[in-house]
Amino acid sequence: MYKKPCAVILFVIVASIAFAQQPRNTAPQNASASQKFALVIGNAEYTGLGRLTNPVNDANDVANALTTLGFTVDKVLNGSLERMEGAITRLKNRLSASTETYGFFFYAGHGVQSNGENYLIPVDANIPNENYLRNRAVSVQVVLDDLNEAGNSLNVVVLDACRDNPFGWGRSGTRGLAIVSRQPADSIIVYATSAGQRASDGQGRNGLFTSQLLKNLTTPGLEVKEVFNRTGADVSSVSGRQQVPAVYNQFFGTAYLGTLPVTFEQGTVSTAVGALEISTITAGTVEIVGAAINEKIELPAWSSLPITKIDAGNYRVTMRYEDGKIEEKTIQIGRAESAKLEFSYNPIVQPVPLPSPPAQRQREATPDTRLWTLGASAGTSFTRPWLIGTVHGTLAPFNYSFLDIGLDVGMLRRALRLPGPG
């Protein structure tokens, strides 16, 4: 049910899933794989606090998505305080190597707040009261301060928390996570739900927020702020507006996830320009042909390809799927028009026919002579040239008598050893 507590914190600090950041007032550029680093932590097996359902799944799936997008990923599952702090230090050092680096920090697990400060809880933490949090848990603000000191280009922080205190103690700790008071420059901080509200644990493999985030992270060509705008809208819609994420933006540049948006322009930009968004259910290669354009782009399943600028005109768009299926459509783009094209092919496995029973196979292999021999026939190999019309059309290997006309009794005569005529 929706109100089930999730006790999951999706904590994304520092930047960019395959973020290609644009320096201010310049064209967007793609960051190389050597400039993108991620730390993913999923804590579920807590000592004395019970087991959480989704953090490990969330961490594994986010790590896979980031790897696909070109990140070097450091993953910690069921981390102790020592392992978590060590991994955070490694991330800071990697990000400090260049001002052009992008980082991504993801945390799923228990988290609490005390006196306005948020803490991430290691799986082996022994915290009898709030006074022990500073020494036995990871301070979110300390993490943010470390990443801010790294001087990298973009910090993204996502908190997907159920906002329940698993310890059952504390004054302010019972109200869950607090808004970060000192937000780093060039950062985007996202809360999976509004302050004081619970985040859903979801109905499947991932928490509600994480499931929607994963879908938007892998959509090609989305600007980073649009990723979280869409994720927030999706979470709100799926939950019936019971869970509404909050986004706090201190990043004023332009950054993209994975690949840059596709822009088709011939020569100087004409005023007769439109936009096209292509979506598909099944993964494949989309080919766009029209005017001077001949482009091929790989699209994952359940994704869309936004083309921000494309000259007005007619285009042939072809989707080629891995199973050999091809879909082809044509579309006309008008001036200043935004068009959408959807490919809905969904491969269905055809059922394999069951083998026929032995008796049926025998009937299929052996023709039914009654059906084959119905009709009239004439024989010329007889002693006398009688025209024989038989019921079955059987040609007996011996003579027919005059009485045989119209009735095949040859087999009967053979069985009785009766002499034939003449």
pLDDT for res 360? 54
For position 307, what pLDDT does the model report? 84
Per-residue pLDDT at 393: 45
- 286 and 368 in one domain? no
Residues 219 and 279 in one domain: no
Owning domain of residue 311: 264-343
Q: Is residue 156 domain-shared with residue 289, that is, in the same domain? A: no
Same domain as 305, residue 216? no
The pLDDT value given to residue 296: 83
Q: Are residues 304 and 412 in the same domain?
A: no
> Total structural domains in the chain?
3
Does residue 394 belong to any structural domain of this protein? yes
The residue from 257, 279, 307 where one domain ends is 257
Q: Among candidates 247, 37, 49, which has minimal Cα distance to 137?
A: 49
pLDDT at 3: 43
Total Cβ atoms within 10 A of residue 388 = 21
Are 176 and 28 in a shared domain? Answer: yes
Angle of the 81-95 helix axis to the 140-150 helix axis, nearest 10: 20
Task: Choose among 33, 7, 8, 5: nearest CA to 19.
Answer: 33
d(CA 380, CA 395): 10
The answer as to whether 5 is a domain residue is no
String of DSSP letters for 93-159:
HHHTT-TT-EEEEEEES-EEEETTEEEEPPTT---SSGGGHHHHSEEHHHHHHHHHHHT-SBEEEEE
At residue 18, what is the residue type? A
Domain identity same for 94 and 32 = yes
pTM assigned to the model: 0.60
Look at residue 12 and tell me if it is in a domain. Answer: no
Q: Which of 8, 43, 187 is nearest to 103 (CA)?
A: 187
Q: Which of 343, 366, 387 is the last residue of a domain?
A: 343
Check residue 137 and give its pLDDT: 94
Q: Are residues 370 and 275 in the same domain?
A: no
CATH number of the domain within which 330 lies? 2.60.40.10
Question: Is 11 inside a domain boundary?
Answer: no
Pair 57, 44: CB distance under 8 Å: no
Last residue of a domain, one of 343, 371, 393: 343
Residues 397 and 307 in one domain: no
| CATH number of the domain that residue 201 is part of | 3.40.50.1460
Classify residue 1: in a domain, yes or no: no
> Does some domain include residue 317?
yes
**Is the domain of 248 the same as that of 117?**
yes
Residue with tokens 């007996």: 396
Kindly state whether residues 326 and 393 are assigned to the same domain: no
Residue 10 lies in a domain: no
Look at residue 218 in the predicted model and tell me its pLDDT: 82
The structure tokens listed for 305 are 């390809």
Classify residue 400: in a domain, yes or no: yes
Alpha-carbon distance of 61 to 309, in angstroms, equals 33
Q: Is the domain of 99 the same as that of 60?
A: yes
**What whole-number distance in Å separates Cα of residue 161 and Cα of residue 399?**
99
Q: What is the full per-residue pLDDT of the chain (422 aa) written as tens digits?
A: 444 444 444 433 333 333 344 333 334 455 665 688 889 999 889 988 888 889 899 999 999 998 888 888 999 999 999 999 999 999 999 989 999 888 888 888 888 888 888 888 999 989 988 889 999 999 989 888 988 988 999 888 777 766 567 777 655 444 557 777 788 888 888 877 777 677 776 678 998 888 999 999 888 778 888 988 999 999 999 999 998 888 888 889 887 767 777 665 543 344 467 888 899 989 899 888 876 677 888 888 888 888 877 877 788 899 999 898 999 998 888 877 888 899 989 886 545 455 555 555 555 444 444 333 334 444 444 444 444 444 444 444 444 443 444 444 444 444 445 555 44
Q: Give the chain's end-to-end CA distance (angstroms, integer).
A: 97
3 state DSSP class of 64: helix
